[in-house]
Amino acid sequence: MSHLIVSPAVPSAGDRPALSITPESAGWDYVGFETHRLRAGEKLARPTGDSEVCLVLVEGKAHVATSAQSWRDVGQRMSVFEQIPPYAVYVPNDDRYEVEAITDLELAVCLAPGRGNHAARLITPEEIGAEVRGEGATQRFIHNILPEGQPADSLLVVEVFTPQGHWSSFPPHKHDRDALPEESLLEETYYYRVQPEQGFAVQRVYTDDRSLDETLAVKNGEAVLVPKGYHPVSAPPGYDVYYLNVMAGPVRTWKFYNDPDHAWLAQPRK
């Protein structure tokens, strides 16, 4: 197993995360990520500590509360492959959250350093920008859950649907240098769902000098760490691929640099 792949724990339920990534376990400084699978009636309650949190209702419905606010009957999609935007809740550092599942629930907990600049809020599907990127075999569908144009201290959160036989995060790009305005330094996690579940996605993570160069077969429910380098994704024929990205770094902006060998692919077609 590659050190870049994080597999879910077995068994997992309730307060114990199905999958857990911390800055310490990843060997980096900013991004944390968890998934939790709750049955109807189960609760998850946590303090945020020094992290801001974006709770993404990946699948299912729940009641969500922070220390000062609460929202009832949050959520609408029961499968990510319905391809409709999710509900999410932003929670600042030095706060707390409680999630009570109404249905079976898959909850993603996205974490990064917080500085107390923003209040807790509900992010509704209507507020989430949807876009289509690429064309032909690079066409994919984006939901910008917490983009840089929306308030947060560190977190950037987005989900991507890549149809079978298509590529995404393509042309290969990277964001591992603190070299603005050309490129920003952002750590990144990819959390995968695959339909049908016995399938897999393919992700390559590589640097210019090839000191890191891995090609990964990623299964449903696994996550990939991208500490540096280019990181394209492919969905094999017959298998639709969803992934949830969490990014954070010293500056909250997404400025990427395309692999010069493949940058021509980003040019408009005549």
pTM for this predicted structure: 0.96
pLDDT of residue 181 exceeding 70? yes
**Four-CA torsion 152, 225, 191, 251, nearest 10 degrees:** 10
Residue 260 sits at the vertex; the CA angle it makes with 264 and 190, to the nearest 5 degrees, is: 95
Q: What is the pLDDT of residue 2?
A: 84
Give the integer Cα–Cα distance in Å for 57 and 126.
Answer: 15
Give the tens place of pLDDT for each residue, 102-150: 999 999 999 999 999 999 999 999 999 999 999 999 999 999 999 999 9
Nearest-angstrom CA–CA distance, 30 and 34:
14
Per-residue pLDDT reduced to its tens digit, 65-81:
999 999 999 999 999 99
Name the residue among 247, 243, 269 with its Cα closest to residue 256: 247
Environment class of 3 (CB within 10 Å of its CB; exposed 0-12, middle 13-18, buried 19+): exposed
Four-CA torsion 77, 49, 153, 79, nearest 10 degrees: -10
Residue 181: how many CB atoms within 10 A of its CB?
7
Token digits of residue 130: 């949807």
Q: Residue 21's closest CA among 2, 38, 35, 37?
A: 35
Strand residues in 7-104 grouped as ranges (E): 19-21, 32-38, 43-47, 51-59, 62-66, 70-74, 88-91, 96-101
| Per-residue pLDDT tens over the stretch 234-250 | 999 999 999 999 999 99
